[in-house]
């Protein structure tokens, strides 16, 4: 069997997350400085836009968690009337960003995201 | 019975929210430009700091919800290893910020916050 690249492995893990949770519309792994590492986005969702927003949210989330005594940042979520943007740290240097529909079951989504983040962190540190 | 001021009514509503959900540590209503309207904070939690962080988070949350197609902002939450910061819109001009402990039951907290926000919006528009 042909070896696949690490990027392909990361994208496959993102796609498997999207398959287990059908209300996920888009996923991306973004470095803390706002550059895309891997993504699985539908047409019409700009990779640059997702990365820039993820990095801004991560930076502010970290500042808020620290200034208001919440410790190290685990997760950030933004709920709009049409759905969610959820970020979760992947190790120390990246973040997983998920766009999900409004009717998503958050408990299940968080569980699947936590598992995916563990796997993605392993892939990034191979 | 002596009439109470609107600020006292707002603070009483914040305190009743904190009593129904004992894992809440602090609450504040902050205007969209980052000024405190009313608060119920323990010693050691600075009002200015909570207000500034709330306004920054609200502004970025609104931008992210809009840029990533999530519509009007409903809620933002930041989870750190020691607990949560949760923001929810109170009408169009203010936001309710809640600091909660790590072991809080989120589903119940969101429900109580939604009720409180409806009441606070009514008080603000009296």
Q: pLDDT tens digits for B6-20?
A: 899 999 999 999 999
| ipTM (interface pTM) | 0.85
Question: Which pLDDT band, with edges at 50, 70 and 90, does A45 fall under?
Answer: confident
Contact status, residue A37 vs residue A123, Cβ threshold 8 Å: no
Question: Which pLDDT band, with edges at 50, 70 and 90, does A2 fall under?
Answer: low
Contact status, residue A26 vs residue A40, Cβ threshold 8 Å: yes
Percent of all residues in chain A with a pLDDT value above 70, rounded to a whole number: 98
How many CA within 13 A on the CB side of residue A82? 12
For the stretch B58-115, pLDDT in tens is 999 999 999 999 999 999 999 999 999 999 999 888 999 999 999 999 999 999 999 9
- Encoding tokens for residue B28? 């504040």
- Encoding tokens for residue A42? 């539908």
Chain A interface, best mutation among B41, B42, B53, B80, by max A CB count within 10 A: B80
- Strand, helix or coil for residue A29: strand
Q: What is the dihedral of CA B95, B99, B105, B106, to 10 degrees?
A: 30
A59 touches chain B (CB under 8 A): no
B98 touches chain A (CB under 8 A): no
Q: Of the candidates B70, B78, B82, which has its C-beta nearest A61's C-beta?
A: B78
């Amino acid at each position: 069997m042909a070896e696949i690249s690490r990027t392909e492995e990361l994208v496959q893990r993102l796609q498997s997350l999207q398959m287990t949770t059908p209300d996920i519309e888009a996923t991306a792994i973004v470095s803390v400085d706002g550059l895309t590492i891997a993504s699985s986005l539908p047409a019409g969702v700009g990779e640059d836009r997702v990365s820039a927003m993820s990095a801004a949210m991560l930076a502010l989330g970290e500042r808020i968690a620290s200034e208001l005594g919440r410790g190290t940042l685990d997760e950030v979520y933004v709920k709009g009337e049409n759905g969610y943007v959820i970020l979760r740290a992947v190790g120390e240097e990246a973040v997983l960003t998920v766009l999900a529909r409004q009717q998503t079951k958050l408990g299940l989504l968080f569980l699947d995201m936590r598992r995916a983040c563990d796997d993605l962190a392993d892939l990034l540190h191979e």
